[in-house]
Amino acid sequence: MVVDEETRALVAPLQKLLDWARGHSMWPLTFGTACCAIEMMTVGSARYDTDRFGIFFRNSPRQADCMIVAGTINLKMAPRLKLLYDQMAAPKYVIAMGSCAVAGGPFAAGYNVVNGVDAIVPVDIYLTGCPPRPEALIHALLTLMERNAAGEPSAAELHAAEVRRAAQEATW
């Protein structure tokens, strides 16, 4: 990015500007299902205050950039998770918060628990802990924003590229 001396305007490729914006504002969907949801609420509270990073929780998937899967997902919830993810506008990101969302957590052996949400949606950040501390969630969000600022592709984009490549190979 450069500043034009004459007009004092910021001149940059559009993609760079978009990356810069995405790297400084992240609106997560309030998708809390279990214990982790309480810690997710906590990051918005006075002590942790994610507003200062440009992180504002949204109640509608259509306004959200990023889905924090905060808690255990079971077979009954799985289609609802998929539906919400599909309702989000691209570019979209997923943080699997807590051991349950990462790999089933303490309930992994159960008959009804999804052992990791990456079976349903592409995951950008895996955040372990049971539940992770609020600082850890902030770190996850900031890492995601740094990646965006650097113009790195999201898990959804990588997944889509993977699908395209596989389809192409199948036609060869």
Q: Which of 35, 149, 155, 160 binds another protein (CB under 8 A)?
A: 35
CB 117 → another protein: shortest distance, Å? 9
Among 47, 167, 169, 171, binds another protein (CB under 8 A): 47
**How far is residue 87 CA from its own chain's centroid?**
14
Q: Does 131 bind another protein (CB under 8 A)?
A: yes
Cα separation of 162 and 82, whole Å? 19
The residues near 34 (Cβ < 8 Å, ≥ 6 apart) are 70, 71, 72, 98, 100
Cβ(54)–Cβ(148) under 8 Å? no
Quote the CA–CA distance of 39 and 21 in Å, as a whole number: 27
**Rounded Cα–Cα distance for residues 70 and 19 (Å):** 26
Among 39, 94, 125, 145, binds another protein (CB under 8 A): 39
| Candidate residues 25, 27, 54, 82; the one interacting with another protein per rule CB under 8 A | 82
Q: Considering beta carbons, is residue 96 or 145 the nearer one to another protein?
A: 96
Q: Report how many residues bind another protein under the rule CB under 8 A.
A: 46
Check binding of 166 to another protein (CB under 8 A): no
Chain mean position to CA 86: 13
Binding residues for another protein, rule: CB under 8 A, are 30-35, 37-39, 41-42, 44-47, 59, 71-72, 74-84, 104, 106-116, 119-120, 130-131, 133
